[in-house]
Amino acid sequence: MTIRNKRYAASALALSLGLGLSACGTLNEGPQNMTLYSVNQPVVERQNYTLDLGSNASGLSVPEQARLADWFETLDVGYGDRIAVDDPAASPAVREDVAAVASRFGLLLSESAPVTNGYVDPGNIRVVVSRSMAHVPGCPNWRDQYGINQGNQTSPGYGCAVNSNIAAMVADPEHLLNGASGTGETTIMTSNRAIGAYRDAQPSGGGGTNLPEVSSEGG
Q: Which of 113, 169, 108 is nearest to 136 (CA)?
A: 169
If you average pLDDT over residues 99-122, what whole number do you get?
90
Rounded CA-CA distance 56/51 in Å is 16
- Range in 61-65, 92-96, 165-169, 206-210 with the lowest mean pLDDT: 206-210
Q: What percent of the chain has pLDDT over 70?
A: 73
Residue 27 confidence (pLDDT) above 80? no
Q: What is the pTM of this model?
A: 0.62
Angle (CA) 206 209 213, round 5°: 110
The domain ranges of the chain are 46-133
Q: For domain 46-133, is the CATH number 3.20.20.210?
A: no
Length of the chain counted residue by residue:
219
**Residue 53 β-bridge partners:** 125
Rounded CA-CA distance 116/47 in Å is 11
Q: Which of 94, 187, 80 is nearest to 134 (CA)?
A: 80
- Range in 12-16, 21-25, 206-210 with the lowest mean pLDDT: 21-25
